[in-house]
């Protein structure tokens, strides 16, 4: 789907450039964007490697286990029938820790591993479960205490105090997470009620 979207965007840009007589500007913008993308990748990869290493250290030194203990009471409320001593919960805790540190794309591999672990543990066989939905919410609108990736980008573009967004990031991440969880729980309850009424009718 995204491949089709980007292909359409490129084609439309070229057509508009030809029609308006600015095709040279389109070509120049495309070349400059390629260079900037590579520069951004090189700039960010150092930070991603560093934080990825810190995550490995945190896992082996037991920090993630402490996070799991802190996260356990909330997990009991959020995840239904999930083994809190199992592999899936451990993988979820790794991802939550990475997102709290604001690692952005560096948290993606941990999120993929957590989804695979949830699928294996719940025997989903390609069907998304309620626990997977809750985890996706935790991953995409997660609580962020240290916006390291955003701060790195701000520093690159000349921000004098790149971490001065900390309060705003914390507030918005909390609101986003609460909104997502409330919506998920509300829709889940609505779906359960609908299924119950449908069963009564069919019976």
Residues whose CB is less than 8 angstroms from the CB of residue 82 and which lie 6 or more positions away in sequence, other chains included: 75, 88, 89, 118, 121, 131
Query: What pTM was estimated for this model as a whole?
Result: 0.62
Pairwise CA distance, residues 137 & 200, whole Å: 32
Lowest-confidence pick of 9-13, 29-33, 146-150, 190-194: 190-194
Where along the chain do its domains lie? 49-202
Quick one: which of 91, 111, 94, 178 has its CA closest to 143? Answer: 178
CA 127: distance to chain centroid? Answer: 20
Q: Looking at the predicted structure, is the pLDDT value of residue 198 above 50?
A: no
Q: Looking at the predicted structure, is the pLDDT value of residue 172 above 80?
A: yes
What are the pLDDT digits (tens) for 116-155?
888 888 877 777 888 888 888 888 777 777 777 777 778 8
């Amino acid at each position: 789907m995204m491949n089709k979207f980007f292909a359409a965007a490129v084609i439309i840009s070229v057509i508009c450039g030809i029609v308006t007589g600015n095709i040279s500007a389109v070509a120049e913008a495309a070349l400059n964007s390629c260079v900037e993308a590579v520069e951004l990748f090189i700039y960010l990869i150092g930070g991603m490697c560093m934080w990825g290493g810190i995550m490995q250290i945190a896992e082996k030194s037991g920090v993630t286990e402490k996070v799991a203990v802190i996260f356990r009471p909330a997990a009991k409320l959020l995840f239904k029938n999930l083994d809190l001593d199992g592999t899936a919960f451990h993988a979820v805790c790794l991802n939550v820790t990475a997102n709290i540190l604001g690692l952005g794309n560096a948290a993606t591999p941990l999120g993929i591993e957590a989804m695979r672990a949830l699928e294996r543990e719940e025997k989903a066989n390609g069907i998304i479960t309620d626990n997977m939905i809750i985890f996706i919410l935790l991953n995409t609108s997660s609580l962020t205490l240290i916006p390291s990736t955003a701060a790195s980008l701000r520093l690159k573009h000349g921000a004098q105090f790149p971490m001065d967004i900390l309060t705003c990031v914390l507030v918005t991440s909390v609101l986003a997470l609460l909104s997502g969880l409330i919506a998920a729980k509300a829709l889940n309850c609505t779906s359960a009620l609908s299924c119950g009424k449908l069963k009564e009718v069919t019976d």
